[in-house]
Amino acid sequence: MSTDSQLAFASIAEIAKLFRAGKLSPLELTGFLLARIASLNPQINAYLTVDEAGALQAARQAEAAFSRKKSKTRKLGPLNGIPISLKDNIYTAGIRTTGGSKILREFVPRHDAPVVTALKNAGAVILGKTNLHEFAYGVTTVNPHYGATRNPWDLQRISGGSSGGSAAALAAGLCYGSIGTDTGGSIRIPASLCGIVGLKPGVGRVSTEGVVPLSTTLDFVGPLARTVQDTTLLFSAISSKAGRSRRSSSSRKRHLRLGIPKEFFFDALDPEVHAAFKSALRVLQRHGAKLVSVSVPMLMETEDAGNQIAWAEATRYHQQEGWYPARAADYGEDVRSRLEMGVNVSAVSYLNALELRKKFIDRYHSVLQNEALHAFVVPSTPIPAPLIGEDETVINGKQYPTRGLLLRLNRPANLAGVPAISVPCGFTATALPLGVQFLGPLDGETLLLEIASTLESALPEPAHPALA
**CA angle centred on 201, ends 346 and 340, rounded to 5°:** 25
From CA 138, how far away is CA 337, in angstroms rounded? 12
Query: If pLDDT is split at 50, 70 and 90, which confidence band does 153 have?
Result: very high
The 10s digit of each residue's pLDDT in 255-298 is: 899 999 999 999 999 999 999 999 999 999 999 999 999 999 99
Residues of the chain by 3-state class (helix, strand, coil), percent to 5: 45, 20, 40
pLDDT at residue 255, rounded to an integer? 84
Decide if 366 is catalytic. Answer: no
Mean pLDDT for 356-361 is 98
Query: If pLDDT is split at 50, 70 and 90, which confidence band does 74 have?
Result: low
Catalytic residue of the set 163, 186, 380, 422: 186
**Mapping DSSP to helix (H, G, I), strand (E, B) and coil, where does residue 150 land?**
strand
Q: Work out the end-to-end distance of the chain between its first and last CA atoms, rounded to an integer number of angstroms.
A: 14
- pTM here is 0.96
Give the rounded percent of residues in the chain with a pLDDT score beyond 90: 91
Decide if 87 is catalytic. Answer: yes
Query: If pLDDT is split at 50, 70 and 90, which confidence band does 254 have?
Result: low
Contact 140, 404 (CB under 8 A): no
Structural domain 3-458, CATH architecture: Alpha-Beta Complex (3.90)
pLDDT at residue 68, rounded to an integer? 77
Query: If pLDDT is split at 50, 70 and 90, which confidence band does 467 have?
Result: confident
Strand pairing of 83-87 and 47-50? unpaired
Is pLDDT above 50 for 341?
A: yes
Catalytic residue of the set 87, 102, 129, 200: 87
**Mapping DSSP to helix (H, G, I), strand (E, B) and coil, where does residue 412 land?**
helix
Decide if 186 is catalytic. Answer: yes
Which runs of consecutive H residues, i.e. helices, occur in 299-392? Answer: 299-320, 333-343, 347-370
Contact 80, 65 (CB under 8 A): yes
The 10s digit of each residue's pLDDT in 291-324 is: 999 999 999 999 999 999 999 999 999 999 999 9
**Cβ atoms within 10 Å of 428's Cβ, excluding its own:** 18
The full set of domain ranges for the chain reads: 3-458
From CA 80, how far away is CA 68, in angstroms rounded? 13
Catalytic residue of the set 159, 162, 215, 453: 162
Range name among 72-76, 170-174, 418-422 with the lowest pLDDT average: 72-76
Is pLDDT above 80 for 452?
A: yes
pLDDT at residue 249, rounded to an integer? 43
